[in-house]
Structure 1
Amino acid sequence: MTALLDIAELAKRFDVGNKRLLHAVDEVTFTIGRGETVGLVGESGCGKSTLVRLINRLLDPTSGSIRLAGTELADMRARAFAGNANRARIQMVFQDAGDSLNPRYTAADAIADPIRRLRKMSGASLKSRVEALADMTGLPRELLSRFPHQLSGGQKARVGIARAIAVEPELLILDEPTAALDVSVQVVILKLLQQLKHELGMSYLFVSHDLNVVRLLCDRVLVMYLGKIVESGPAAELFADPRHPYTRALISAIPQADPDKRVGRLRLGGEPRSPIDPDPTVCRFYGRCPKGEPRCSAEMPVLRTVAPARHVACHFA
């Protein structure tokens, strides 16, 4: 599969004072192929949101490479990237559509804004494009004149999606796109996203805490823990046979209707290690890992190939 996005040794460190650095994203490397849906999972605070902001060029990296179809994006400052031609190639659907929409913009204005800025379109052609996007995302045209507070959660989600695909991006980043919606509406929006992906040929980076959704929608999954990718692989294989202890714990926590299947829940003890100036020789999962051995406190495991298309950062994988 041809790589659309190539992330190499990407890092983001925040100065927290007294010459200390918080390692939010630490030497992350992965690719996303054209037409591929890649899931990004991990507990809150693991660095998913920071990684997404780096890729979407809303935040400047400390080091590393972000290449989109061979074009290096990391060298350009986030502020300057907003007006760059490559801005249209990466777009994002935010977690809470209500908070991400300008309350002073109608639905039509919200959808039209990126087209005006990045495609320099106006007049009748702009109006026609906005209406076509509303039709494509299932948003009734009569709602285009309404403001966000006059729309339901599902309708605001459709506006957010229409706005994101308005400039025909190659990569769409989905940051918990259904988290703020009712379950019945979630299903409809997820089906819409699947339909749009096939119709428009986009690649998706899908960030979610809902592992069942990730399993159903994603071709491949990245598991993140304390700023690092600890496991990656095809979704079906990773869920059927997780190789990293943290991945096993995540999958074992998926809610089960069958009481017999709840018995296998892997509960982790201890506390997460601090991301501030972490010891480079200690495994980030050491102290919580049920397999932790002295080697884990003296040698940081690297992300290595353990099977075709399977990569794990664990000495015992």
Structure 2
Amino acid sequence: MHVLLDIDTLAKRFPVGGKRLLHAVDDVSFTIGRGETVGLVGESGCGKSTLVRLINRLLDPTSGGIRLNGTDLAGLSARHFAGNANRARIQMVFQDAGDSLNPRFTAADAIADPVRRLKKLSGAKLQRRVEALADMTGLPRELLSRFPHQLSGGQKARVGIARAIAVEPELLILDEPTAALDVSVQVVILKLLEQLKQELGMSYLFVSHDLNVVRLLCDRVLVMYLGKIVEQGPAGEIFADPKHPYTRALISAIPQADPEKRIGRLRLGGEPRSPIDPDPKVCRFYGRCPKGEPQCASEMPLLRSVGPARQVACHFA
């Protein structure tokens, strides 16, 4: 598979007083293939949002590489990236479309804005493009003149998606795109996203707490814990046979109607380790892990292959 996005030992550290540093993203590496959907999962505070902001070039990395189809994006500062031609290549659908839409913009204005700025369209060509995008996302044209407060949650989600695909991105980052929607609307929007991916040939980075959605939508899964990727691999394999204790704990918490598909619930004790100046020799999961051994406190486990396209950072997996 052709690699579209290549993340190489990416790190982001924030100063928190004195010489102390918070390691929000710590030497993360992974790839996303062209036309592939990769899920990113983990508890709140694990670094998912920071990683997304780095990839979307809203934050500058402390170190590491971000390459999109061979183009180095890490070398461009976040301040300059907004006006760079590469801005159109990565777009994002936000968790709550209502919060991400300008209340003074009509739906048409919101969709047209990136096209006007990044594709330099205007007049009749711009109007035709906006109408075509409304059609593609199932937004009735008569709603284009409405403001966000006049739209339903599902309609606002369609506007957000239309705006994101308006400039024909190669990579679409989906940050909990259906979390604020009713279940029935979630299903419709997820089907729309899958349809658009097939039609437009985009790749998706899908960030979600809903593991059932990740299992259905994603080709591969990245599991993140305290700034590090602790497991990655094909979605079917990870959900059927999680190798890392943290992954197993996440998946064991998914409600299952079929008793044969349940795995024993793994409840975690202890407190998460501090991300501020963490000891580089100690496993981030040490102290909560039911398999914790002295080796875990003296040797950081690195990602290692445990099968084709499958990696896990655990000494005992």
What TM-score bracket applies, with the shorter chain setting the length? over 0.9
**Residue number in structure 1 paired with 2:243:** 243
**Residue number in structure 2 paired with 1:298:** 298
Task: Confirm or deny that 1:41 pairs with 2:41.
Answer: yes
Matches of 1:260 and 1:165 in 2, distance apart? Answer: 40
Q: 1:256 offset after TM fit, Å?
A: 2.4
Give SS of 1:120's match. Answer: coil
Q: How does 1:156-235 map to 2 (within 5 A)?
A: 156-235=156-235
**Residue number in structure 1 paired with 2:307:** 307
Q: Identity across aligned pairs (percent)?
A: 88
Give SS of 2:174's match. Answer: strand
Give yes or no for contact 2:252–2:263 (8 Å, CA) kept in 1.
no
Matches of 2:214 and 2:257 in 1, distance apart? Answer: 18
**Residue number in structure 1 paired with 2:288:** 288
Give yes or no for contact 2:107–2:145 (8 Å, CA) kept in 1.
yes
**Residue number in structure 2 paired with 1:273:** 273
**Residue number in structure 1 paired with 2:10:** 10
Matches of 2:168 and 2:70 in 1, distance apart? Answer: 19
Q: 1:306 offset after TM fit, Å?
A: 1.2
Matches of 2:129 and 2:262 in 1, distance apart? Answer: 50
Runs of 4+ in 1 over 2 A off after TM superposition: 256-263
Q: Which sections of structure 2, spanning at least 5 residues, go unmatched?
A: none
Matches of 1:31 and 1:211 in 2, distance apart? Answer: 20
Q: Structure 1 length normalisation: TM-score?
A: 0.98
Matches of 2:167 and 2:225 in 1, distance apart? Answer: 33
Give SS of 1:242's match. Answer: coil
Q: Structure 2 length normalisation: TM-score?
A: 0.98
The code of the aligned residue for 1:283 comes to: C
Give SS of 2:154's match. Answer: helix
Q: 1:257 offset after TM fit, Å?
A: 3.2
**Residue number in structure 1 paired with 2:102:** 102
Give SS of 1:197's match. Answer: helix
Q: 1:279 offset after TM fit, Å?
A: 0.4
The code of the aligned residue for 1:201 comes to: G
Inter-CA distance 311–263: structure 2 relative to 1 (3 Å threshold): closer
The code of the aligned residue for 1:238 comes to: I
What is the CA RMSD across the aligned residues, in angstroms? 1.0
How many residue pairs match? The answer is 317
**Residue number in structure 2 paired with 1:22:** 22
**Residue number in structure 2 paired with 1:90:** 90
Q: Which sections of structure 1, spanning at least 5 residues, go unmatched?
A: none
Q: 1:264 offset after TM fit, Å?
A: 1.6
Q: 1:263 offset after TM fit, Å?
A: 7.5
Give SS of 1:264's match. Answer: coil
Q: Is the deviation greater in 263-272 or in 293-302?
A: 263-272
**Residue number in structure 2 paired with 1:137:** 137
Matches of 2:15 and 2:79 in 1, distance apart? Answer: 20
Inter-CA distance 263–240: structure 2 relative to 1 (3 Å threshold): closer
Q: 1:18 offset after TM fit, Å?
A: 1.9
Inter-CA distance 202–262: structure 2 relative to 1 (3 Å threshold): closer
The code of the aligned residue for 2:68 comes to: L
